[in-house]
Structure 1
C-alpha cells in the first residue's frame, strides 16, 4: 500500500502534521490508523471534528467524512455531498489546505483510480504551495496521479520511494535515516 510505505519513511520529528484522505468503504469499521501506526514513527489517529493538528501526527479522514482544515489548524469533518463520487475527497482537503496554509501547503497525490485531487492541486498551486505526484507509470493505479499531472501544477512527479525524502527535505526533520 503506497500510503503505508510513504508514512514508514517519514521521520519522527517531522515538523508538520500529515492529513490523509484514503477512500475507504464506510460499511466496515476501519482499523487503518492502527495499521499505519505500526509502520511509522509518527503518531497516527482518525481525525476528529474539532481536533487541532500537531506536528508529527498523521490525521486520517474517517470513512464517509470529508476532512477540512482551517487557518488555526482546527479540523472539521463533514458529510456533505460526494465529490467525484467519493467521500472523503482529496479535492476538498487540498482546497482547505490551500486556504489554511497558502504557500506552506504541500499536496501529495498517490496511486488511486478516478480524478480526485486534480482540482485540489490547482488550488494548492494557485496559493503558492507545492504539488507532489506519484509517477503514474509506477503507481499501482494511475488514474489519480495522471489526472493531477494533467493539471500542469506538479512541482515533482516521482516514484513512490523518492517522495518521503523530498517531503522531509522540504519541511525539515531527521535526514540521517534514523526515523524511529
Structure 2
C-alpha cells in the first residue's frame, strides 16, 4: 500500500529465515529506526529445547523492542517478535479486535515448528494488503506457500537475492511460486525498510 507521498504504509512485516538467516537478520533489524511503526514478526528455524538466544542477541543491537511472545499477547507497533522454539507463531485478528499472537504446538509444517508458512498465511488473513513478507536465506522451501498467500491477499513480498544467501533454497522456492514482487540484496532491503516506511502521523 502506498500513500499520497509515495510512502509504503504496511500494517506489519513478517520475516522467514532458516540456515544463514541470523546473519541476514543482523543486516536488517539493527537498521530499523526507533520511529519504525509496523510490528515485525520473525520465524527462524531453531531447535526445540532451551529458550532461544535470538531475542537477547538482537535486543542489544536494535532500537526497536525485541520480544519472545506469550500466547494471546497483543501485537504492538514498533516491536519485533521472535517465534519461540518449538511453537508455531500465528496472527489472530477476529471481530475487529486488535491482532494478537497465537502460539501452537500443532505438528511441524514442512518439517519445521515454528513454520514460516504458518506465520505468513495467518498474517495474510489478518493484514491483507497491508502486509509485507520477507523471505531470507534458508535450506528448504518453507515460506514459499505463505509468500503466495500474502501476494494473493494483496500484500507485498520480497526475497533475498539467492546469489547473496548462504542457503538459497528458501528464497528460490518463493520466487518459483511466483509470490515475490522484488528480489533484493540485504542492503537494498535495509534501505527500503529504514527509509520507505514511516510512523503514521
TM-score range, shorter chain: over 0.9
Q: Describe the superposition over 1:103-124 as per-residue Cα deviations: whole angstroms up to 9, x where unpaired.
A: 0011000011100000000100
CA distance in structure 1 between the partners assigned to 2:196 and 2:132 by the alignment: 9
1:99 equivalent to 2:125? Answer yes
CA distance in structure 2 between the partners assigned to 1:151 and 1:170 by the alignment = 26
Deviation at 1:169, TM superposition (A): 4.4
Q: Which residue of 2 aligns with 1:176?
A: none
Rounded Cα–Cα distance in structure 2 between residues aligned with 1:70 and 1:129: 17
Task: Return 26-35 or 88-97, whichever deviates more.
Answer: 26-35
Q: Does 1:76 find its partner at 2:102?
A: yes
Provide the secondary structure at the position in 2 that maps to 1:55: coil
Answering whether residue 154 of structure 2 is matched by residue 125 of structure 1, we say no
Greater shift in the superposed pair: 29-38 or 94-103:
29-38
- Structure 1 unpaired stretches of 5+: 174-180
Aligned to 2:79: 57
**Structure 1 counterpart of 2:53:** 31
Q: TM-score, normalised by structure 1?
A: 0.92
* 1:116 to 2:138 alignment: no
For residue 178 of structure 1, what is the aligned residue in structure 2?
none
Separation (CA, whole Å) in 2 of partners of 1:165 and 1:133: 14
Give the structure 1 partner of residue 37 of structure 2: 15
Moved more, 41-50 or 27-36: 27-36
- Figure out how many residues of one structure are paired with residues of the other and give that number: 173
2:34 and 2:78 in contact (8 A); partners too: yes
- How far apart, CA to CA, are the structure 2 residues paired with 1:156 and 1:4? 20
RMSD of aligned Cα (Å) = 1.2
Counterpart of 2:16? none
Structure 2 residue matching 1:21: 3-state secondary structure: strand
